[in-house]
Structure 1
Amino acid sequence: MNRTEESLKALVGIKRTNDTLDRIVKQDMKNYGLNITEFAVMELLFHKGDQPIQKVKERILVASSSTTYVIDQLVKKAYVTRRQDTTDKRITYAVLTDKGYKLMEDIFPQHEQTIEQAFSTLEDEELSILRTALKKISAFSVE
């Protein structure tokens, strides 16, 4: 098999694997009453602290209007609040509430186990190689 065929098969494999991982994560989040995007926002805030909403949009890779909607939903659930920057009124931060932080403390360890299980068929070295290879592909830019 030549490199072009291998590349095409690799792309199909990545897409199928991504679909499988999406299903696993969606099911995991469904157990906690969250969708995958809501969880992505909460996970970012849980691990990185308060974030400007613009940065949330960039980090979770969804459209601007979708991010606003997701944050609105998390505000309704009392997991997140918005806070205006005190020095620059153009900047609004997304902030995890105590309730949101408690939820993440409760669910994140189980989520980590679920993800670890999803990759359990790989040896440690294979997992490391996969991460490195995916990072290289992600850095590729078409301009």
Structure 2
Amino acid sequence: MDAYKTINDILVNLINEIWELEEKAIITEEFKDLTNNDMHVIEAIGPEEGNNMSSIAKKLNITVGSLTTAMNSLVNKSYVSRSRSEKDRRVVYVKLTEKGIRAYQHHEDYHRQMTEAILAKLSEDEIPVLMKTLDGLSEFFRGYSQKS
């Protein structure tokens, strides 16, 4: 099998497997009311305070309208709270509740385990090669999404 076909097969399968396995790993009994998309919105909000809807939508590369739909669901499920700015009532700030922080930490732990599993298989010399490869892949995805 040539390098192109091998790399293509690995990338396609890996992307699909990561999405499916992540959902199985992070949507536990405690977080069964969340979807994978919900968990990524929670990740984009993060544990720090002072995030407004526009900055979160930008991180996720979605519209504020789409984020509002997801946010309504997360507020109803008690993972997120919303408040309006005192200075500008048009600005809406969101923050994770205690339940949301637990979900965030659970998701972060899954990512930590995944990263540590990869690093454990690599020598010190191989790590920069993987980082360069993943950076190139990330650059491709960012460039491709900007074309759309």
TM-score in same-fold range (> 0.5): yes
Deviation at 1:87, TM superposition (A): 2.3
Aligned length in residues: 139
Asked if structure 2 preserves the Cα contact closer than 8 Å seen for 1:29 and 1:35, the reply is no
Q: Which residue of 1 aligns with 2:122?
A: 123
Unaligned runs of 5+ in 1: none
Aligned partner of 2:25: which letter? Answer: D
Q: How far is the alpha carbon of 1:114 from its aligned partner?
A: 4.4
> How big is each residue's C-alpha offset from its partner over 1:19-49, in whole Å with a ceiling of 9 and x where there is no partner?
1111111112221222112111222333454
Letter in 1 for 2:23: K
Q: Structure 1 vs Structure 2: percent identity of aligned residues?
A: 19
Using the alignment, how far apart are the partners of 1:11 and 1:89 within structure 2? 49
Indicate yes or no: 2:11 matched with 1:20.
no
SS at match of 2:81: strand
- Say whether 1:93 aligns with 2:90: no
The 2-side partners of 1:124 and 1:18 are apart by: 24
- TM-score, with length taken from structure 1: 0.73
> Unaligned stretches of 5+ in structure 2?
none
Shift of 1:103: 4.0
Question: Residue deviations 1:87-132, cap 9 Å, x none?
Answer: 2333212211133224434x24642454247636741544543332
Structure 1 counterpart of 2:57, one-letter code: K
1-structure distance, mates of 2:62, 2:113: 24
Distance 1:10 1:87, change over 3 A: farther
Opposite residue 57 of structure 1, the aligned amino acid is A
Matched, 1:30 2:27: yes
Counterpart of 1:91 in structure 2: which amino acid? Answer: V
TM-score (norm 2): 0.71
Change (3 A) 1:109 1:58: closer
Q: Read off the aligned partner of 1:51 and give its amino acid letter.
A: N
Between 1:76-85 and 1:38-47, the stretch displaced more is: 38-47
8 A contact 1:52–1:92 mirrored in 2: yes
